[in-house]
Amino acid sequence: MGSIIDPNEINPCSHLSSFKDFHGANAYKSIPRTQSPTPRCCSCAGVGLRLYLCLVCSKTHCFDHSSAHQESNPTHKIALDVERSELYCFSCDDQVYDGEFDAKIRRRRRESCLKKRKRAAPESSGLRGLNNLGNTCFMNSVLQALLHTPPLKEHFLGHWEACRQRRRRRAAVPVPAGAGEVSCLACSINGVFEAVFSGDPRPYSPAGFLHSWWQHSSNFASYEQQDAHEFFISVLDRIHEKEQPILPNKGIGGDCHCIAHRVFSGVLRSDVTCTICGFTSTTYDPCVDISLDLEPSTSNTASSVNNVKQKQNPTTSSLVACLDLFTRPEKLGSDQKLYCEHCQVRQDSVKQMSIRRLPLVLCFHIKRFEHSLILKTSKKIDQYLNFPFSLDMTPYLSSSIIRKRFGSRIFAFEGDESEMSSKLSSEFEVFAVVSHMGRLDSGHYVTFLRLRNQWYKCDDAWITQVSEGVVKASQGYMIYYVQKVL
C-alpha cells in the first residue's frame, strides 16, 4: 500500500500553510479569547448574520463582504467562522482543518461558548457534533446516522470481543521492518462510538477514524469532497472484510454473520418473464441498501401503502411512489431480450423487482446525481421527497408481488417466499435522514436524527433542534428506517 495522508500531520489547504509559514507563532494571535456579545459586520453593520473574522487584519465581515474583502486584499484568505469557531479559506471556498488550531484555539473558544449555550439534548442521547476536518461533511453525516443505528450502537457499545480478538491476533504477528501498522477500522469506529456517547458535550474530531478509513480505502485518501453513499458502502465493506476471518462459518443460505450484514443486509428478487410463453428466470441478489429513482415529475402515481393518489407536482416526489416505481413491471428493450429456455430463442421480456428478505435496518439511497457519459455532463436533481415516518414494506415483498401477479395458487411452488417474508416485521420507523444541500460541485451534507420523536439537525460540529417541517423540506439523499419491534 502506498503512503497514506495523516489528517493530523498534513494540512489540506495550501493557502492555510502559506498563512502559517508567514505568520509563524502569531498565526492565531488575533483571535480574541471571548466573543463580542453582539458581533456585527464592519461593512454593513449587520447583526445576526454568518460572520467571519479575518486572521490577518482582525476585521469582521458577513460572508458577502468577507469575499469582497479577500478580493481587495489577496493575502487575507484565511478567516474564522465566528459562530462555529472553524477556519475558512475564501480561496478554497470551504472550511479547512488544522490540528494546531483545533488543539490550542478551538477548544478554548468552544468551552467559553458552551457555558452560554443551551444544550440541545441530554448527554446520554449521543448527540455530539463532529468537527469538519476539511471537506468531510460527507463522512460526518453518515457517521451520525451509523452512530444512532440501534443494532450498531448495541454492538459497539455493548460487547467488543471481536475487536479484542483482532488486537491479540495482530500482536502475535511480527511487523516487517519499515512497515507501518495498519489501524483497525472497526476499532476506530468503536472509538468514535465511545467518544460520542461519553457525555462530553464538546464537538469531537474523528481524525483517527478518517486516517484509519484512508488506510483501508486508499482510493479515497484525499481532502476532496466525496459522495456520502459511496462512503457508507465503503465503511460497511471494510467492516465486513475485517470481521469475516474471525467469524464462524456462514449460516443457512450463505448469510454473513458480520455486524454490517446482520444489520443492513437484505435480499432482492428479480423476475424476468418471457412475454411469449410466460417462462420466468429468477435471480437473487444480496444488498445493503436500495437505490431508488425519483418519481418522474410528469407522473401521477398512486401510493400502494397509503392508497392515496399522489398529486402531480414538478418539484415533489414521494418515497412510496419511488418504491412503487422500483417494483413496477418494466418492459426490457430490444437489446436486453431474454434467452427463453422454453422457446429456445431470445424473446421480448418483462422485468420486475421485489424484496425477498428485509434487513433489520433499511437504507434507501435516492438517486439525486445524474451522469451522462455521452454528453459528459453531471447534474443534481433538486426534487423534494416526501417520506412517511412509519413505513409498511408489505406491498414490496416478493410474497406480495407474486400473489398479486399470479394469485394464491403460486404459493404451492413459491412457499420459500412466504416463509422468508413472515420471519421479520415489515413495519419500519425512520430514525435518520442524510440530506444534500446546494449544487453538485459545491454542496454540503447534513443529517437529521429522530430521537424520542424529536428531530435534531447535525451540521458537522453543530447540533440544533428542528421541527418536522424542516426535515420534510430537506432534500433527502439517504433515508434510514429501523424495523419496529414485534
Q: Is 83 domain-assigned? A: yes
Cell 454473513, residue located: 256
Using DSSP bridges, classify how beta strands 280-287 and 266-274 pair: parallel, antiparallel or unpaired. antiparallel
pTM for the structure as a whole: 0.73
Q: CB neighbours of 394 closer than 8 A, spacing ≥ 6? A: 400, 426
Q: What letter does residue 374 receive in the DSSP assignment?
A: T
Asked, for residue 298, whether it belongs to a domain, the answer is yes
How many separate domains does the chain show?
Answer: 2
The residue annotated as part of the active site, out of 187, 322, 444, 458, is 444
Asked, for residue 44, whether it belongs to a domain, the answer is yes
Write the CB contacts of 193 (distance below 8 Å, at least 6 apart in sequence).
147, 153, 156, 157
Q: CATH no. for residue 349? A: 3.90.70.10
Q: Active-site residue among 137, 322, 340, 363?
A: 137
**Structure confidence at residue 168 (pLDDT):** 61
Q: Round to whole Å and give the CA distance between 467 and 472.
A: 9
What is the domain extent for residue 410? 265-360+371-387+394-424
- Share in percent of the chain as helix, strand, coil (round to 5): 35, 25, 40
Residue 42, in any domain of the structure: yes
**What is the phi-psi region of residue 417: left when phi exceeds 0, alpha when psi lies from -120 to 50, beta otherwise?**
alpha
Contacts of 258 (CB under 8 A, 6+ apart): 239, 240, 243, 244, 247
**Residue 2 φ then ψ, to 5°:** -75, 175
Q: C-alpha cell of 210?
A: 478518517
Round to whole Å and give the CA distance between 148 and 449: 8
Among candidate residues 68, 87, 117, the one where a domain is terminated: 117
Residue 450 C-alpha cell reads as: 429522530
What single-letter amino acid sits at 444? H
Q: Please state, in angstroms and as integers, the Cα–Cα distance from residue 139 to each residue in 376, 444, 446, following that order.
A: 27, 11, 10
- Decide: 240 and 250 in contact? Cβ < 8 Å: no
- What gap in Å lies between CA 64 and CA 51, rounded to an integer? 10
| Domain-embedded: residue 340 | yes
pLDDT digits (tens, 9 = 90+) for 231-275: 999 999 988 887 765 555 454 445 788 899 999 999 999 999 998
- Number of helices and strands (H, E) in the chain? 15, 23
What is the mean pLDDT, run by run of 10 residues, along the chain of 486 residues?
A: 46 80 81 67 75 89 88 90 80 79 61 46 72 89 96 79 57 52 73 89 89 80 79 91 62 69 94 89 94 72 42 68 94 83 88 94 92 72 90 94 73 51 79 88 88 92 92 93 84
Which of the listed residues 55, 84, 117 is the one where a domain comes to its end?
A: 117
**pLDDT, tens only, 363-395:** 999 999 877 677 667 778 888 899 999 999 999
Of 70, 85, 117, at which residue does a domain stop?
Answer: 117
Q: What is the DSSP string of 173-210?
A: SPPPTTPPPPPPHHHHHHHHHHHHTSS--S-B--HHHH
The answer to whether residue 240 sits within a structural domain is: no
| CA–CA gap between residue 198 and residue 211 (Å, rounded) | 22
Compute the distance between CA of residue 152 and CA of residue 484 in angstroms, rounded to an integer: 15
- Predicted local confidence at residue 50, as pLDDT: 75
**Cα torsion 258, 263, 264, 266: sign:** positive
State the Cα–Cα distance between residues 433 and 450, nearest whole angstrom: 9
444 is catalytic: yes
DSSP letter (8 states) at residue 461: T
For residue 76, the model assigns a pLDDT of 92
CATH code of the domain in which 46 resides = 3.30.40.10
- Rounded to 10 deg, the angle between the 137-147 and 150-158 helix axes is 80
Nearest to 346 by CA among 359, 363, 328, 334: 334
In a domain? residue 345: yes
Q: Which helix (H) or strand (E) holds 165?
A: helix 161-172
Residue 177 falls inside a structural domain: no
